[in-house]
Amino acid sequence: MRKNTILILSLWSFGLGYGQEKPALIESKPTDISEIVIYETRLQLPGSLKNRNLQILDKEQIKQLPVRSVNELLAYVSGVDVRQRGPFGTQADLSIDGGSFEQNLVLLNGQKISDPQTGHNSLNIPVPMEAIERIEVVRGPSARLYGVNSLTGVVNIVTKNPQKNGVFAHVYGGSSFEKDTETGHDQWFNGRGFQLGGSWVEKKHNHLIFGSQESGNGYRYNTDFHNSKLFYQGNIQPNDRNTVMVLGGLVRSSFGANGFYASPIDKEAKEIVNTYLLSLSSKHLVSDALTIAPSIAYRYNYDDYRFYRFDLSKARSQHYSNALTSDIKAHYQTNYGVLSMGAEMRYEEINSSNIGEHSRSNYGLFAEFKREFFNRLDVNAGAYVNYNSFYGWQVFPGVDASYRVTDQWQALFSVGSSQRIPSFTDLYLNQKPNLGNPHLKPESAYQIEGGIRFKTENLSANAFLFYRDIDQFIDWVRADETLSWQTDNAASNRTTGFNTSVKYRWNRPTAFWDFGVSYTYLSPKIEAPKGLSKYTVESFKHQIVSTINYRNKQWSAMLANRYNERLSYKSYFLTDARIGYDLKKYNVYLDAQNIFNVTYVEAGAVPMPGRWFTLGVKFNTL
């Protein structure tokens, strides 16, 4: 690991030093070639995303939705499938447009924070919702933009840049008002939590810090949880040419894992997951034409799965994983367009009781050219070249284009490709009834997509049609119920999909209404050998998400509905609501989740909570 660490640190230091060659006080014109937005308050999208099928949750939507965790928040994004085992932000799998939970990337301010052990841990994120500026979801294979493992899409969480000194406090509690009949305890299922945060803003630097603690006895037998989070972000801008961001955070979670992975025999299971993140990134305007952005990020994860929580002498799995990533990106504005180039390195290792000790390295180079023709046609074309210490060389080209028909109408087209390298769990797990396969090959995919966008001051709409082909699809399979599950390149997955969304804002003199609805249809054709499969029949077939939001000077109300139908599970319809009241710096809200007390399952055999009410109070001067 030492050799890779030196290479990664050297790469970032080179970018930092090179960006400081110009005098600090030279005045520069603003550019529109930023790939990583640092120290920025307005919504500024990288040029590479302007022609993509991109879904955005902004801070106003995040504020109004009846949720308290990133897991719950992502469930309201069209095409995103968040399959929770532990609710209240405890544990969840994320997939996009019918892919598996391993086939997407999770980014924080553009930096990779996905877990190399398993996708089950990728949403262990220390960032509180109050610190999020927006969430970007890029749909489709995206190796040209983000490297390998972006097989079906990318989720990028963008944090806020504070503008003033302030403090934040949040206290809440909730219950289903039902009792645990299995243990006979005379106590309602309940949960409670608090969050504290603050900002410090000076002329050339600012800082955010948040801490939170939440706990509860769950919603059924052995689903109690304890979650602690700490998050810090510092932005430093010594002059108008250089910016630096320092970010760190930790998540420490402990929860009952009844039915999570081996129902019904894991009734007494418990899991403890600790995640630590640290990153350093910067952006340097070397000249009016050239921008350089280096970064380095580290992730450590500890996963302790106890099959028998009262007897740690048997069936206990402990995993320690490290991931170190660095990249450098350069953007050069020419008279003919924008040329972007970059390189990245990633080192991953694991030390595990039933996976063993393993490590691997990944190196990538990318180049892209962006140009506009006739003031209407915008084209991005490029490729990503990857070398992996296990699987050798691969090349992933891609093209995105858009044509502005009128000021309101835009047509879009993209062709992209990517690869997913098997996780350490896929390759080496040795824990019956689940066994890995060290002979696995990487998954590969290409996708063709076309769509239209329409936008006016109050109305926006889009519609996209895509075809995606995943080869060497990795699944957990077995010939019959007497054998263990084992990973295999057992299938190909060819998916045709359609998605559309409409948003409308109705402004009134003293209030406004927001209406939104999205629909996703997926039709996968899976070629798999005979036998039983864990994942090939779990994706969405139909998904509808709709929201109605009303707000005046003090009162607000949100009604949110979700309809999900999977290929093999029965459909279910969920309704959530929030009522809020603002009084100067205070906000009081009441959430009602699963109002109609629907019985449903999102992952495995884990029944999700029924009706749940939460009352909260926020104090905010940020």
> Helical H runs in 408-485?
424-428
- Residue 540: phi, psi to the nearest 5? -65, 150
How are beta strands 153-159 and 104-108 bridged, if at all? parallel
Confidence of residue 182 (pLDDT cuts 50, 70, 90): confident
Q: According to the model, what pLDDT value does residue 19 have?
A: 44
Tokens linked to 238: 């010594």
pLDDT of 529 reads: 66
pLDDT digits (tens, 9 = 90+) for 93-144: 899 998 888 999 999 988 888 889 988 888 889 998 889 999 999 999 988 8
Structural domain boundaries of the chain?
2-407+421-427+584-620
The better pLDDT of the pair 18, 249 is held by 249
Predicted confidence at residue 547, as pLDDT, reads 95
- In angstroms, what is the C-alpha Rg of the chain? 24
The answer to whether residues 508 and 485 touch, using CB atoms and an 8 Å cutoff, is: no
Residue 535 — pLDDT band, cuts 50, 70, 90?
low
Paired residues of 340 in beta bridges: 331, 368
Beta strands 409-420; 443-455: pairing state: antiparallel
Residue 42 in this model has a pLDDT that exceeds 50: no
Cβ neighbour number for residue 546 with a 10 Å cutoff: 18
What tokens were used for 354? 């039933």
Q: Amino acid identity of 300?
A: Y
Greater confidence (42 vs 293) lies with: 293
pLDDT of residue 46: 57
**All residues at 6 or more sequence positions from 24 whose CB lies less than 8 Å from its CB, including other chains:** 238, 239, 241, 242
Q: Residues 409-428, buried b or exposed e (16+ Cβ, 10 A)?
A: ebebebbbbbbbbbbbbbbb
Strand segments, DSSP code E, in 69-182 are 80-86, 91-96, 104-108, 111-112, 132-139, 153-159, 166-179
Of 349, 396, 340, 503, the C-alpha closest to 149 is 396
Q: Tell me which H or E stretch contains 232.
A: strand 225-239
Cα(421)–Cα(443) distance, integer angstroms: 7
What are the angstrom distances between the C-alpha of 526 and each of 1, 98, 357, 583? 39, 11, 34, 54
Give the pLDDT band (50/70/90) at residue 87. low
Residue 553: how many CB atoms within 10 A of its CB?
8
Give the C-alpha separation, 476 to 392, whole Å.
Answer: 25
C-alpha distances (whole Å) from 614 to each of 188, 231, 339, 381, 490 are 13, 24, 50, 48, 44
* For residues 72-92, average pLDDT: 84
CATH code for the part of the protein at 2-407+421-427+584-620:
2.40.170
Q: Which residues in 114-138 are b (16+ Cβ under 10 Å) and which e?
A: bbbbbbbbbbbbbbbbbbbbbbbbb
E strand intervals along 20-68: 54-58
Which residues neighbour 29 within 8 Å (Cβ) at sequence distance 6 or greater?
Answer: 288
The mean pLDDT of the chain is 87
Q: What are the phi and psi torsion angles at 453 (to 5°)?
A: -130, 145
Q: What are phi and psi of 71, to 5 degrees?
A: -55, -50
Contact present, 323 and 348 (Cβ < 8 Å): yes
The total of other beta-carbon atoms located within 10 Å of residue 241's CB is: 22
Going by C-alpha positions, the residue among 499, 370, 386 that lies closest to residue 150 is 386
Strand 485-507 and strand 572-583: pairing?
Answer: unpaired
pLDDT band at 13 (very low <50, low <70, confident <90, very high): very low
- DSSP conformational letter for 609: P
Please check whether residue 349 is in contact with residue 389, taking contact to mean a CB–CB distance below 8 angstroms. no
